[in-house]
């Protein structure tokens, strides 16, 4: 139950959203402002989903929302702070006929200037390359920070901006493939199963379509594994990094939480330390040993990947290199999914040495057969 103060604060913040909805401007502008507010709120950690929590600093959040609204209003009308003299001067400089004396009011002159603005041609290629790159980032990079997934049917076709001209495509393609994070689905297999093809279905088709030239532009990827317990586990990887500290697990991995929560991430070691409190006491020693094994798996995958594709700024990923990372990610996520079931109150104690026990059993069976012979 929420206290009376929290309800009052929540109502106040809802009133801010209602004020936005009641602003008088075209529907399209209202939708853009609403989307912008939601995105900015997520960046500030303000969440109104059913799984979210009330922000700790409510007054600050209210001020943030008010600032967003004011900024949106100012952006919608760039002449709102201009004096009548400034408006007339701007009108003369553009050689726009001055209205009759009785109609020389701020609203009338502002409308004339806005009409003139809409008729000014915009030449993208006349801008400096640095400015063009910022425009490409604004247009092509997903501001919600969510992964782009071919396997889940999320739109991954080449954006229309990349089809305007060859020069724009050559400049913007590295931004689209390099700044966004692309998520691939991993098959749910037994830990000892040997998989020859880690990418299949839509993921495989998408990689074939974009081809080697665009695969080498990828810099940020993630892998998702759907466990047998119908929970999703993610692992995010920075392809240019040589450190396993860039292999991170979102805190909502394995739980259905608001996307706002996915902005918080932990490395493999941080995740192990955080989750160790939930491990049964009799499993703690084996659990930390198991975390070390997962770290070694990640380190070996990084070495193999960089031996094939390079590292740092010179990295050029290939389909074969992504296979190396997919294999390691599957081992890490599948072990993690098993831990969630066996190491917590959901189930029994997980046997971290199951692989070694199976090998010992095989050897014992072989010895028995020799004795019988």
Domains of the chain: which residue ranges? 1-76, 82-120, 129-358
Give me the pLDDT at residue 217, please.
Answer: 95
Cα separation, 254 vs 233, in Å, equals 5
Residue 130's SS3 state is helix
User: pLDDT category, 40, cuts 50, 70, 90?
Assistant: low
Nearest C-alpha neighbor of 43 from the set 262, 266, 312: 262
Give the mean model confidence (pLDDT) for residues 174-199: 76
Q: Please say if the pLDDT value at position 39 is more than 50.
A: yes
Instruction: Tell me the pLDDT of the chain averaged across its residues.
Output: 72
Please, where are the H alpha helices in the chain?
4-21, 27-43, 58-76, 84-93, 106-119, 129-140, 166-179, 201-215, 268-275, 284-309, 319-342, 354-372
Nearest C-alpha neighbor of 321 from the set 305, 300, 299, 302: 305
Start-to-end CA span in the chain (Å): 72
Give me the pLDDT at residue 213, please.
Answer: 94
- Please enumerate in sequence order all residues whose Cβ is within 8 A of that of 213, keeping only pairs 6 or more positions apart, or say none: none
- Most confidently modeled of 155-164, 229-238, 324-333? 324-333
Give the mean model confidence (pLDDT) for residues 82-98: 88
Give me the pLDDT at residue 216, please.
Answer: 95
Q: Please say if the pLDDT value at position 315 is more than 90.
A: yes
Give me the pLDDT at residue 95, please.
Answer: 87
Q: Please say if the pLDDT value at position 61 is more than 80.
A: no
- Most confidently modeled of 117-131, 174-188, 262-276? 174-188
When comparing pLDDT for 33 and 249, which is higher? 249
Give me the pLDDT at residue 289, please.
Answer: 78
Give me the residue label for tokens 């700044």.
179
Of all residues in the chain, what percent carry a pLDDT higher than 70? 55
Sheet with 220-226, strands from edge to edge, namely 181-186, 220-226, 232-238, 248-250, 265-267
Q: What is the pTM of this model?
A: 0.60
- Most confidently modeled of 5-14, 221-230, 233-242, 243-252? 233-242
When comparing pLDDT for 94 and 34, which is higher? 94
Give the mean model confidence (pLDDT) for residues 149-153: 64
Rg (CA), the chain: 28
Give the mean model confidence (pLDDT) for residues 335-356: 49
When comparing pLDDT for 282 and 307, which is higher? 307
When comparing pLDDT for 183 and 6, which is higher? 183
Cα separation, 145 vs 163, in Å, equals 24
Residues of 255-266 as b/e, b for ≥16 C-beta within 10 angstroms? eebeebbbeebb
Least confident of 103-117, 177-191, 337-351: 337-351
Give the mean model confidence (pLDDT) for residues 169-194: 80
User: pLDDT category, 52, cuts 50, 70, 90?
Assistant: very low
């Amino acid at each position: 139950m929420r206290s009376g103060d929290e309800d009052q604060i929540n109502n106040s913040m809802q009133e801010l959203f209602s004020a936005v909805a009641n602003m008088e401007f075209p529907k399209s502008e209202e939708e853009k402002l609403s989307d912008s507010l939601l995105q900015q709120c997520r960046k500030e950690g303000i969440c109104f989903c059913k799984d979210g929590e009330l922000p700790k600093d409510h007054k600050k959040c209210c001020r943030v929302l008010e600032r967003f609204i004011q900024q949106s209003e100012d952006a919608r009308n760039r002449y709102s702070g201009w004096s009548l003299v400034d408006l007339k001067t701007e009108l003369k400089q553009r050689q726009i006929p001055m209205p009759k004396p009785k109609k020389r009011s701020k609203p009338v002159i502002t409308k004339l200037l806005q009409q003139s603005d809409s008729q000014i041609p915009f030449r993208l290629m006349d801008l400096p390359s640095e400015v063009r790159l910022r425009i490409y980032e604004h247009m092509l990079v997903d501001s919600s920070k969510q992964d782009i997934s071919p396997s889940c049917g999320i739109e991954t076709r080449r954006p229309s901006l990349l089809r305007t001209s060859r020069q724009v495509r050559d400049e913007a393609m590295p931004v689209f493939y390099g700044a966004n994070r692309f998520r691939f689905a991993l098959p749910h297999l037994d830990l000892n199963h040997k998989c020859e093809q880690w990418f299949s279905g839509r993921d495989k088709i998408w990689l074939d379509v974009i081809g080697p030239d665009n695969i080498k532009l990828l810099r940020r990827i993630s892998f998702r594994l759907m466990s047998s317990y119908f929970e999703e586990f993610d692992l995010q990887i920075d392809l240019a990094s040589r450190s396993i500290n860039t292999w991170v697990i979102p805190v909502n991995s394995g739980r259905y939480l608001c996307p706002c929560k996915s902005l918080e991430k932990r490395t493999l070691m941080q995740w192990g330390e955080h989750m160790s409190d939930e491990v049964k006491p009799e499993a703690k020693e084996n659990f930390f040993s198991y975390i070390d094994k997962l770290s070694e798996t990640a380190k070996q995958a990084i070495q193999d990947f960089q031996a094939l594709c390079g590292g740092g700024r010179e990295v050029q990923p290939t389909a074969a290199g992504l296979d190396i990372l997919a294999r390691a990610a599957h081992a890490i996520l599948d072990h993690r999914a098993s831990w969630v079931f066996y190491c917590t109150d959901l189930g029994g104690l997980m046997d971290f040495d199951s692989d070694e026990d199976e090998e010992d059993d095989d050897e014992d069976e072989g010895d028995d057969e020799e004795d019988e012979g």
